[in-house]
Each structure stands twice: as structure tokens, then as C-alpha cells.
Chain A
Amino acid sequence: MKLTLALAQINTKLGDVESNLEKHLALAREAAQGGAGLIVFPELSLTGYVLQDIAATVAHRPTADDPLFRHLLQVSKNLDMVVGFVEEDSRYRYYISAAYLSAGQVVHLHRKVYLPTYGIFDEKRYFAAGNCFRAFDTRFGRVGMLICEDFWHVSSPYTLWLDGADLFLMTSASPGRGITDEILGSAQWVQDINRAYSGLFTSFFVHANRVGFEDGLNFFGGSTVFDPDGRMIAQSPYNEEDLTLREIDLAQLRRTRTRLPLLRDERPEMVVSEMNRILGR
């Protein structure tokens, strides 16, 4: 099966959900016209990233009667979508979440598990953490979603891999730093791990990053698609808004894994027994 992916590498208005929603709807229309089956927006694409005290005031619940999701779910009847937003639960905890929408339904919700609270990051001050990584079925096969810091922990994609994910959707709002090399140090890092993961997990790795500034922080874009052979098959420009369309051939999974059966030879039972030993159980 072939799938045309759309990477929606956008800038956002900080705390202006209506304006960001309009951009989502416009890009979704453009992606659908270009033949896309799935459009992936970055982390917190509907709100902006450094929310601080804005967080609670821009939170939504992904339901059919929510004024924000009503529009997005409508669009998802024609085009699968991954959007980033602040999710409020029924007890007023706020999460950095990514929703996979398809056929007018919320197919899956991932709440960011690893909330960086160091250096330039202060997420735990404002947000509750998710507590699971779950792969889920879509019309394009089994998918796993991770949000930014989630994929700096190798156990996150590993868990999703063993849970059946073949298509990994990574979203981020990654601030650039490191000015000595050809590209930003942080851009190189993200690219390197996406390449490593796609090769090691013999899977498709899609990374949607945002662009723009929030005060002095710059988000560098450079969104990518890596194939199961670890090859970069698409890259959006650095620093500019862009809608990048790329067709992927899901049959590549069979070809790569027949040549390189890393998944077949993986030994999760041994991992579990060793983990139990390490954790003293």
C-alpha cells in the first residue's frame, strides 16, 4: 500500500488557538488536494510551545462537541490528521497531547510521557505526564506516536515497536542551539536519532517539527521522513513554514525486514526478565 504523507511544518501564534486552527484547516485542504492521506502537525501545533500560564486557558477536550475539535474531526473525514494541543482531562489536569483523527473519530490520543524540566524547558511545572506508549491501528497500518522528549528515551520507540508499530509519527517543537557546525547542533541530533531509529527498528519514522520564534527561542523545522532502511526520503527546509508531501511505499517494510530480520530476532521475553532482575523483582 502506498501513502502520501504531508508534513505540516508550521509557525504558531502563542496562545491564539483560533488563528492556529485556521492554519490547520487551510493546510489540510491543501494536503488533501495534493493527494495526501495523512497530515502530521508538530507538538502543540494548535497553541504554541512556551505556554507557561497560558496553558490552562487554551486547553481542550477532543470530543465532537468541542469548538476546536468539531472542525478538525470534520476535516478528518477526508484526511487523517495528527494535531498537537493542550488536553484537559475531566479532573482538570493538563497534558501535552497528540491526537490521531480519522473518519470523524479520535482514533488515538497520546499524552506526552517525558516532560523535560531542565535547561530551557519547564514542562513539569505546567503539565501532567502521560503514563503509556500504545501503538494503534489505522487505515495505513499500525502506528506509534511520540512527542519530542519522548523520543529521547530509547525505550519509547522500542515499546511501540514491540506493540506493533510500523509507522512512527514523531512531533516536536524543538528549540535550536549549537552554532559551530554546518547545521544547528540540535537539528543534527534529531536527524541522527531519527536515522538510527528507522534503521534499528526497520520502520518508517516521520518527524514533524515547527518553525518560528517564541521570545529568543527559535524552532528550526527540517522535518523528515526516514524509510525502514534508514534513508532520509524527505526533508522540509530549515526555518521556513512548509507543507512537504511525500509518498511512502509500505511494502518497503516487507522488503527490508526480509533482508534484515531484526524484529523477528528481537527477544522481548529476555528484556522483561532482565528488567525484572534490574528492578529487583
Chain B
Amino acid sequence: MNIDLSINPSLVRGLLTRFIHTEITRTGLSRAVLGLSGGIDSALVAYLAADALGRENLLCVRMPYKTSSQDSLDHAMLVIQDLGVPYLDIPITEMADGLISKFPDMSAMRKGNIMARCRMITLYDQSEAFKGLVIGTGNKTEILLGYSTLYGDSAHALNPIGDLYKAQVRQLSREVGVPLPILDKAPSADLWAGQTDEQELGFTYEEADKLLYLLVDQRYSPEECVQAGFSRAFVETVIRRVRRNHFKRVMPPVAKITTRTVGYDFLYLRDWGT
């Protein structure tokens, strides 16, 4: 199966850099805040944002939990040092454990969500302190699969890489100079030692990217995806994930009871008036 996800990285780099610059400065601000996990997605956004805003205008924040790996912290520091951006270390252990310790049997899923939301609180607090907008780092594969925590890592003011599949994130990351150790390692949410996204999802990003590209970008029917060589079970699993997680991609519904209602017939872009 030959599915081509290649991009023109210099074209995309220019587009996304302009997007970040325009969408931040039109609000009257000039700065941004970014959670740096040590992974490829946030590293890529750091390079794009530093380029768009000037390195002094990007605050990178490392927010380890006690189980976070040292590699993650080290890789985030590679980015910080390479870019020369201001940074803060704000461990979330105390904050997260305040809640986690009340429930000794708490599942890994609950703990992971709490960590993601503690990081969101930390970033939005720095947003006010640093006078910068929080930039999101979710890629198209994650967004479609719903591999994120609602109001956790999914919370941000703008997302430059949300229309790039994971494979395309890799291409662009090479273009902007993301350090090799970050390019080469397995994607992980780093919620517990040795965790990888692909283990947790049950399939590889490479497979998911290709299938989603056919389903979403090329509007293939599920049956046509099977004919193209994907197993029926995999196609069904992915479609189910996309549908079940759609709530993470939309604003919550407002009960419409009057003649004009936010979200239905009160419609304006966020950039209204700017």
C-alpha cells in the first residue's frame, strides 16, 4: 500500500510560523507559553514559536510528575538550551498527589488525567503571569483518535500543528532542527515508566496515520479502506475511536431555548474585529 504523507516542510514551516505570529499578535499580546514534555510535538512547536515570536517571547515550562522519566526532562532541556528560551521548572507532584492520595485505588487513567489537568492549570497561570497565550501541541492523529485529556493537554489558545499527522510532524521536526534524540525515540505520554503511546493504543502511528489519511483527507469509505489493504478489525477500531472521542473536538452543547443562542445562530470567528 503506497500512501504518501510527505509534505513540503519549508512551505509548512512558513505557514505555521506566520499563523503563530498573526494569531497571537492580533490579540494585542506578543508572547506565548508552552509546556515542554521532552517529546517531538512540543519540541516542534517550541522551534516554530521561537521563530515566530522571538526566543525571548516564548516561555517553556517543564512540569514533571514524580514518575516522569529523566530522559523526558533531559530532552526538554536540549530544546531549551538549543533555542535559548526562558524556562521554568514547575513539578506537579505535590499538586497532583493532593488529589491522588485521597483515592488509594485510583486507576492509571484517572492519574494521567489529573496530571494533564495540573499541567493545564500551571500553564494557564503562567499565561497570566508571563502575558502570553498557551500554545497547543496536539497533532492531527491524536486529535482524531481522541488521545488526549479533555481540558488537560487539549486546552490551549491556538494549535499550529493540529492539521499535521504524526508522520508529518516528524518531517517538519527534521526541517526545523529538533534534536536527534527526540526525533528518534518512541512517542510516550510518560505517565508511568516505559509507557509508549503505541502500546496503549494497540497500533502504530504509522498505520493510524495512513488509515486516517484515507478516511478523513481522501474520504474513503470503510470498505474502500479494507480493499486498500487494512484489516477490517483495525478499520473498525479506528472509526469507533474517532466517533467516540468527537466530544473532545467540539464545544459542549448549549440547550437551545431562545431565538438566538451561542454556538447555533450567534456565530462569529474568534478573530472578530481584529
8 Å CB contacts to B: which residues of A169-218?
Answer: 176, 179-184, 212-216, 218
CB atoms of B271 and A239 under 8 A apart: no
A182-B8 contact given A16-B273, A213-B23, A218-B19, CB 8 Å threshold: yes
B167 to A: closest C-beta gap in Å: 13
Across the two chains, which residue of chain B brings its CB closest to A11? B22
By DSSP majority rule, is chain A's interface helix, strand, loop, or mixed? Answer: loop
Query: A190 vs B6: C-alpha distance in the bound complex, in angstroms?
Result: 22
**A-facing residues in B142-192 (Cβ within 8 Å):** 163
B213 to chain A minimum Cβ distance, whole angstroms, is: 12
Q: Is the CB of B272 within 8 A of A54?
A: yes
**Whole-angstrom distance between the alpha carbons of A215 and B19 in the complex?**
9
In the complex, the number of residue pairs spanning A and B with C-beta atoms less than 8 Å apart equals 57
Interface residue from B6, B11, B14 paired with A182 (Cβ < 8 Å): B11
Q: Please, how many angstroms separate the alpha-carbon atoms of A161 and B15 in the complex?
A: 36
The minimal Cβ–Cβ distance linking B114 to chain A, given in whole angstroms, is 30
Q: Is the CB of A215 within 8 A of B271?
A: yes
Min CB distance A97 to B, Å, is 21
Cβ of A13 < 8 Å from any Cβ of B?
Answer: yes
Residue A269 at the chain B interface, CB threshold 8 Å: no
Is residue A253 contacting chain B, with contact meaning CB distance below 8 A? no
Max chain B Cβ within 10 angstroms of own Cβ: one of A14, A183, A239: A14
Q: Is the CB of A212 within 8 A of B22?
A: yes
Q: Quick check: which of B33-41, B87-95, B237-245, B261-269 contacts chain A, the rest being far away?
A: B261-269
In the complex, what's the smallest C-beta–C-beta distance from A215 to chain B, in angstroms?
5
**Which residues in window 1-57 of B have CB below 8 A to A?**
4, 6-8, 11-12, 14-15, 18-19, 22-23
Q: A213-B19, A214-B269 are in contact. Are A13 and B274 (CB under 8 A)?
A: yes
**B273 with A15: CB separation less than 8 A:** yes
Contacts of A14 in B (CB 8 A): 269, 271-274
Collect the chain A residues with CB atoms within 8 Å of residue B18's CB. 213, 218, 239
CB distance from A220 to the nearest CB of B (A): 9
The listed residue (B12, B14, B265, B269) touching A215 by CB distance below 8 A is B269
Report how far A28 CA is from B12 CA in the complex, Å: 33
Which A residues from 7 to 22 make CB contacts under 8 A with B? 13-16
- Output the nearest chain B residue to A125 by Cβ-Cβ distance: B267
Interface residues on B, range: 20 to 34
A180 touching B274, Cβ below 8 Å: no
**Beta-carbon nearest neighbor of B164 in chain A:** A179
Among candidates A13, A52, A218, residue contacting B15 with C-beta atoms closer than 8 Å = A218
Query: Does A184 lie within 8 Å of B22, measured CB to CB?
Result: no
User: Across the interface, which residues of B come within 8 angstroms of A53, CB to CB?
Assistant: 265-268
Q: Is the CB of B7 within 8 A of A179?
A: yes
Given contacts A213-B19, A218-B15, contact A180 B8 (CB under 8 A): yes
Known A50-B269, A53-B267; contact A183-B23, beta-carbon cutoff 8 A: no
With A213-B18, A239-B18 as known contacts, state yes or no: A15 contacts B272, CB within 8 Å: yes
Given the complex, which residues of A lie within 8 Å of B265, measured CB to CB? 53
**Residues of B contacting A13 in the complex (Cβ-Cβ under 8 angstroms):** 273-274
Decide if B110 is an interface residue (CB 8 Å cutoff).
Answer: no
Q: Inside 8 A of A183's CB, which chain B residues have their CB?
A: 11
| Contact assessment for B11 and A184 in the assembled complex, using a CB-CB cutoff below 8 Å | yes
B270 in contact with A215 (CB, 8 Å): yes
| B-side contacts of A15, CB under 8 Å | 272-273
Q: A213 contacts which chain B residues (CB < 8 A)?
A: 18-19, 22-23, 271
A186 to B74, CA, bound (A): 41
**Residues of B contacting A214 in the complex (Cβ-Cβ under 8 angstroms):** 269, 271
Check B8 against A176 for contact (C-beta < 8 Å).
Answer: no
Kindly list chain B residues whose C-beta atoms are within 8 Å of the C-beta of A176. 15
Chain B neighbourhood of A52, CB < 8 A = 267-269
- 29 A-B pairs with CB atoms under 8 Å apart are A13-B273, A13-B274, A14-B269, A15-B272, A15-B273, A16-B273, A52-B268, A52-B269, A53-B266, A179-B7, A179-B8, A179-B11, A179-B15, A180-B6, A180-B7, A180-B8, A183-B11, A212-B22, A213-B18, A213-B23, A213-B271, A214-B269, A214-B271, A215-B23, A215-B271, A218-B19, A239-B14, A239-B15, A239-B18
**Chain A residues at the B interface, C-beta cutoff of 8 Å:** 13-16, 50, 52-54, 176, 179-184, 212-216, 218, 239
Closest 6 CB pairs of A and B: A52-B267, A213-B22, A179-B7, A215-B269, A53-B267, A179-B12
